[in-house]
Amino acid sequence: MTSTTRTSEQHSDALRRANGAMADRLFKGAAYGSGLLILGLLAAVAVFLLMRAWPVVAGPRDATQAVIASFTGGRFDSFVQYVGPLLFGSVLVAALALAIAFFVSIGIAIFISQYAPRRLAAGLNTVVDLLAAIPSVVYGLWGALVLVPATYPFWDWTAQHLGWIPLFAGPAANPPRTVATVALVLAVMILPIITSMTRDVFMQAPRLHQEAALALGATKWETIKLAVLPFGRSGIISASMLGLGRALGETMAVLMILSPGFGYSFNLLEASKDQTIAANIAAQYAEANNLGVSVLIATGLVLFAITFGVNYAARRLTQKATS
């Protein structure tokens, strides 16, 4: 090899390393910028909510009480009394939706990733992804026009045979525009989100661990229980919390189905007992004055804080699951 050729190769290597270092710096800067952008957007939303909700805290108390009384038909006149039932309804509906969707989603994800033949799994993956892409207003229309009349016989049977349980104390409302029906619709809405995330996590489970369990005589289910589910624990938690956040903030489906009320009722079959923060904002915003909008945004700030807390708790649980 001549000295000229050696010098040319060294120059090419130096140029390649310089280009690689430049690409690394650009990628690092883009990654940092994206992270800072997310934090900036989150801070901007928080500042906006605080500024628009400030008149509720610092403004004339009599005017705020009058607005709240107009929203509740004179039932409440303080912000704490007003936001309490709304927060209770939001958490109740979202928790019920997650309880319904969780085990079904995990079962579907296990079937797709571990049991289904390749062609069937591909078709099911497409269906799950399509369900996740359906707009919430379509789910609301389906729930209001199809599910509400179709579920009354079941809710009536539940009230008659399980009415001794406070959750199902009868009689069931007809039409059943109740928490139970809304929870079913929200469960269908968050089911594809949880399913798609857990499916992807299960498919990344180490193949060697599964083969080792099978080689030691484990059945298919025992292999899933020993090698797949522990690996996907953090993904399951993250997917569940993401679905819970979607259910907490859902607006149109709840607004189109639930018969609103201001109470603290655990009865799932009675109408006009509960309401969510997001649906209440959508219902009251069009006719609210400036102070009324501030009151509604203040309730949105409470929902923002609750959602932030849910995501923070999910992050901590995920860290514990992976440690």
Q: pLDDT per residue over 100-132, tens digit each? A: 999 999 999 999 988 888 888 888 888 888 888
| Residue 212 predicted with pLDDT over 70 | yes
The predicted pLDDT at position 88 comes to 92
- Could you report the per-residue pLDDT of 132-178, keeping only the tens digit for each? 888 889 999 999 999 999 999 999 999 888 888 888 887 888 888 99
**C-beta separation of 262 from 85 below 8 A:** yes
- Could you report the per-residue pLDDT of 253-262, keeping only the tens digit for each? 899 998 888 8
| Distance from C-alpha of 60 to C-alpha of 300, rounded to nearest angstrom | 20
Q: Could you tell me how many helices (H) and strands (E) the chain has, helices first?
A: 13, 0
- Phi/psi region, residue 73 (left: phi>0; alpha: psi -120 to 50; beta: rest), is left
In terms of DSSP H, where are the helices of 111-232? 118-133, 136-142, 148-162, 179-203, 207-215, 220-223
| Distance from C-alpha of 35 to C-alpha of 41, rounded to nearest angstrom | 10
Cis peptide before 149 (omega within 30 of 0): no
**Helices 79-110 & 290-322 angle (0-180, nearest 10):** 40
Identify the CA nearest to 151 among candidates 105, 182, 122, 193. 182
What are the CA-CA distances from residue 315 to residues 44, 109, 233, 238, 269 (Å)?
22, 22, 12, 8, 34
Class of 62-321 in CATH: mainly alpha
| Per-state percent for the chain, helix, strand, coil, to nearest 5 | 80, 0, 20
Reading the block at residue 196, the tokens are 């798609």
The predicted pLDDT at position 69 comes to 86
What are the CA-CA distances from residue 284 to residues 32, 70, 279 (Å)?
40, 10, 9
The DSSP secondary-structure symbol of 287 reads G
For the range 35-43, what are the long-range contacts, defined as Cβ-Cβ under 8 Å and sequence gap of 24 or more?
Answer: none
Reading the block at residue 299, the tokens are 């309730």
The DSSP secondary-structure symbol of 144 reads I
| Distance from C-alpha of 296 to C-alpha of 131, rounded to nearest angstrom | 31
HEC sequence for 28-64: HHHHHHHHHHHHHHHHHHHHHHHHHHHHHHHCCHHHH
| Distance from C-alpha of 198 to C-alpha of 111, rounded to nearest angstrom | 11
- Could you report the per-residue pLDDT of 32-47, keeping only the tens digit for each? 888 889 889 988 988 9
- Find tokens 């699951």 and name the residue: 321
Reading the block at residue 208, the tokens are 């060697």
**C-beta separation of 248 from 91 below 8 A:** yes
- Could you report the per-residue pLDDT of 60-94, keeping only the tens digit for each? 888 888 888 888 888 888 888 889 999 999 999 99
Q: What is the mean pLDDT of the chain?
A: 85
Q: What percent of the chain is predicted at pLDDT more than 90? A: 25
Residue 18, classed as helix, strand or coil, is helix
The DSSP secondary-structure symbol of 269 reads T
